[in-house]
Structure 1
Amino acid sequence: MKIVGIIAEFNPFHNGHKYLISKAKEVCNADAAVIVCSGNYVQRGMPAIINKTSRCEMAMLNGADLVIELPVVYSTASAELFATASIALLDSLNCIDYLCFGCETDSIDLLNTVAEILINEPKEYKDLLTLNLKTGISFPKARAKALDEYFKKYNLDYSLNINSNNYAKYPSDITSNSNLDINTFINQPNNILGIEYIKALMRFNSKINPVPLKRLGAGYHSLDTGTKLASATGIRTAMANKDNISGLLPDNCLNIIKNHTTIEYNDFSTVLGSKLLSMDTLDHIEGINQDLSNRIANNKYNFTDIETFIPMLQSKNYTYSAISRALLHIILDIKQTT
């Protein structure tokens, strides 16, 4: 019996998710699909649009054989911790043969190579990263730029041999590819998570084999709902605008979602506003250092709602998602010691 693992949020479950489960079983010749799924709060640092029980039901009606909830301290963490915890959970089951995930780029060689560089951090890459950080750009941008420069400097390509653990041997057997755009590759949302999954598999020396599937339909951030494979972002936006989402979700999911009141982040504004006024310091909260704690304190009397408050706190050091997660941790009282 072969079992494929999938890590997801299903926020909400849509046609692309149904395709992923079906295709994962087909490609891996798997008899069952085990899903690790976020609960009521997701990695972007927001509440899921509908509750976890309903999203689990949607998955079970559309090909999932078991859905396991990822604890909230991990489901609302950084991409690296989110991925590490999810892989740890799947690996601990001792029955998962494959990990299948959607990616903008489905080259396992390229994904493995980038993951290995980020884990081993060769001196040449670290030097480039340090130089880029000194320019004042954010860490994600500095990392992407350093990787792009590293690949170009050493003429790295993703035409690599694979070792017995299904991970790319690097940097041997490398050929030149001047058209390789690592900067774009490393900044694509599904690629970012795919790399983190593979990094975690490497760290755990897991026997689970990674299998990327190329993402079809609308892009991760696309608001286009003129395709049956619309993104979750596009579907959530359509729902918020009260637009028709028929055809974007399996019919059995549409019936479930119609019977639920959708949840928005601003629904939690009163709770967060009250907490901000009652707390003297926030640097004990997960995801908040002294600098961000001070930024929040200096702006808290301008607070009206969450979605207008987040941009007030943004800077080159703090992305929208990082701040969103930090504020959610205040609401949920998730401490650094949790």
Structure 2
Amino acid sequence: MKTVGIIVEYNPLHNGHVYHFEQSKLVSGTDTVVAVMSGSFLQRGEPAIVCKWARTEMALRMGADLVLELPVAYSTQPAEWFAYGAISALEATGVVDAFCFGSESGDLELLRSAARRLHEADNREAPDHADMTAGSLTGLAPSFQDAIRSRLKSGLSYPSAYAAAAGRLLAEESEEDWLAKPNNTLGLHYLLALERLHGTMRPYTIQRQKADYNQTDISDERIASATALRKLLSGEADTEAVRPFVPAYTRRILQREWEAGRAPVSWASFYAPLFARLAVTSPSEMAEFGEVTEGLEHRIARCLHEVQPSAGEPFEQLMQALKTKRYTRTKLQRMMTRILLNHRKIDLSPDLLRGGVPYLRVLGFTAAGQALLKAMRKTASVPVVTKAASFRHPFLDMDIRSATVHASAYRQPSKAELFRDYYEPPVRLADEV
């Protein structure tokens, strides 16, 4: 039995995800699928629109056999650490033969060649320590770090600075164009992580179809980005608006969560607790949180006074006040996520992250997935966790707390919902589903 790994968020799962899933199995020639999925908070620094168990069910109903949670220590990181954590999780299972990711280019050799050359540059200069000041670097060559910093000083955002520095290092002017695309960038980092981890999985890529990763408008009758779908769902009393763009099971699950008062969850749901934390935290204390860099703690203090809650959407007001050409919205949202969840730099140091995922948390499985789990008991290089209450690790504690914070946004959260990690077994679907 051959297995392909995919790295997902499913926020929510839509028709484009189904295409990627089906193509992943096809191009890799595999029988089963392991999905590594972000939990309660996601890579762009956003809370998931519905809980991780609902999104796990979507994945299983689509056909995934086993869903593992990417720890929040990695899931809300910039592309490099996000990819590193996800690839380390797939490698740690010992049962995944290949992995497949979406990209704008669809050109695996282009991405792989770039990853190898970047890795070779790392090895040539052999940096002793990673540098977190320029985007949580896992071990880039000092000359590359310097090139990124110089571009940051010129006012570029980190993604733009990285693309420009990489383009120069790769000595191809055309590199910058494709490196500026978010899925290409993420794919490059998946492949770079594979090199750094000396991974054995075979990589594949599928070209993204019809809707860009963060496209907010809809230009196709069946395919729309998750960003556009969340925009459609914002403020809606039901889920009818997304019917053409998602599988029937996704809409049923979303509607169930809506009716139960567990959705939609967004940053607007957390402004009150976030404001309270920002208001009582001094700049020196603020600087200890992850992603608070380059004096942003002082900018936060100034911009907080510009927000007028009575004018509506206070979180959006804060984001607009904080945003500059240098600081992208994604960077600022990740920073707010770290502050909301009390994640300090010392808890997310490069030395801790470089070790890869320290456990494999099982969120759900099918009958075929259960067979994979049985095999993983022998092959996995880290503990396989099916009961959160039976295992302790600082990263797992972060996962549990982040799920509690997420559930606090529900209309009337129960004790069981707030502490669901302790009560909920993995989602299990029968063969006929």
Following superposition of structure 1 onto structure 2, how do residues 304-319 of structure 1 map, counting pairs within 5 Å?
304=309, 305-319=314-328
Q: In structure 2, what is the equivalent of residue 165 of structure 1?
A: none
Per the TM alignment, residue 77 of structure 1 is displaced from its structure 2 partner at its CA by: 1.2
* Superposition deviation, residue 246 in structure 1: 1.1
Q: Give unmatched runs, 5+ long, in structure 2.
A: 126-140, 258-262, 348-433
CA deviations over 1:184-220 (Å, ceiling 9, x no partner): 2001111111011001000001001110111112122
Q: Could you list the per-position Cα deviations for residues 101-148 of structure 1 after superposition, in whole angstroms to 9, with x for gaps in the alignment?
A: 111011111101222333333799848657645644334323323444
CA displacement, residues 32-69 of structure 1 (integer Å, 9 cap, x when unaligned): 00000011111111101111110000000001000001
Superposed CA deviations along residues 62-83 of structure 1, whole A, max 9, x for unmatched, are 0100000111121111111111
- The answer to whether the aligner puts 1:291 opposite 2:284 as a matched pair is no
Count of residues in Structure 1 that have an aligned counterpart in Structure 2? 312
CA gap 1:27/1:267 in 2 versus in 1, 3 angstroms:
same
Supply the AA of the counterpart residue of 2:306: N
SS in 2 for 1:102: strand
- SS state at 1:195 partner: helix
* Aligned residue type for 1:238: L
Please show how residues 94-243 of structure 1 align to structure 2 within 5 Å: 94-121=94-121, 126=144, 132=151, 135-149=154-168, 154=171, 181-222=174-215, 223-224=217-218, 226-240=220-234, 242=236
Aligned to 2:131: none
Corresponding residue SS for 2:33: strand
Letter in 2 for 1:294: H
Deviation at 1:313, TM superposition (A): 1.6
Aligned residues of 1:225 and 1:248 also touching (Cα < 8 A): no
Moved more, 253-262 or 8-17: 253-262
Deviates further, 195-204 or 111-120: 111-120
Aligned to 2:255: 258
Structure 1 CA distance, aligned partners of 2:155 and 2:270? 34
SS in structure 2 opposite 1:67? strand
Q: Which has the higher helix share?
A: 2
Q: What is the TM-score when the length of structure 1 is the normalising length?
A: 0.86
Identity of aligned residues (%): 33
User: What amino acid is the match of 2:112?
Assistant: N
> Which residue of 1 is the match for residue 136 of structure 2?
none
For 1:145, give the aligned amino acid.
Answer: A
Give structure 1 stretches of 5+ with no counterpart.
157-179
Q: Is the 8 A contact 1:7 1:86 kept in 2?
A: yes
Task: Give 1:150 shift.
Answer: 5.1
Separation (CA, whole Å) in 1 of partners of 2:294 and 2:187:
31
- Residues 199 and 46 of structure 1: CA distance in aligned 2, closer, same or farther (over 3 Å): same
Question: Which letter maps to 1:275?
Answer: R
| Residue pair 1:18, 1:63 contacting (<8 A) in 2 also | no
TM-score of the pair, normalised by structure 2:
0.68
Report whether the alignment pairs 1:324 with 2:333. yes
- Whether 2:78 is the aligned partner of 1:78: answer yes
| Cα 1:128/1:323, change in 2 over 3 Å | closer
Deviation at 1:249, TM superposition (A): 0.6
1:237 counterpart letter in structure 2: K
Q: Distance in 2 between matches of 1:138 and 1:39?
A: 27
* Structure 1 vs Structure 2 CA RMSD: 2.2
Q: In structure 1, what is the Cα distance between the partners aligned to 2:8 and 2:321?
A: 30
Q: Which amino acid aligns with 2:305?
A: Y
**Larger RCO (alpha carbons 8 Å, 6+ apart):** 2
Structure 2 letter corresponding to 1:204: L
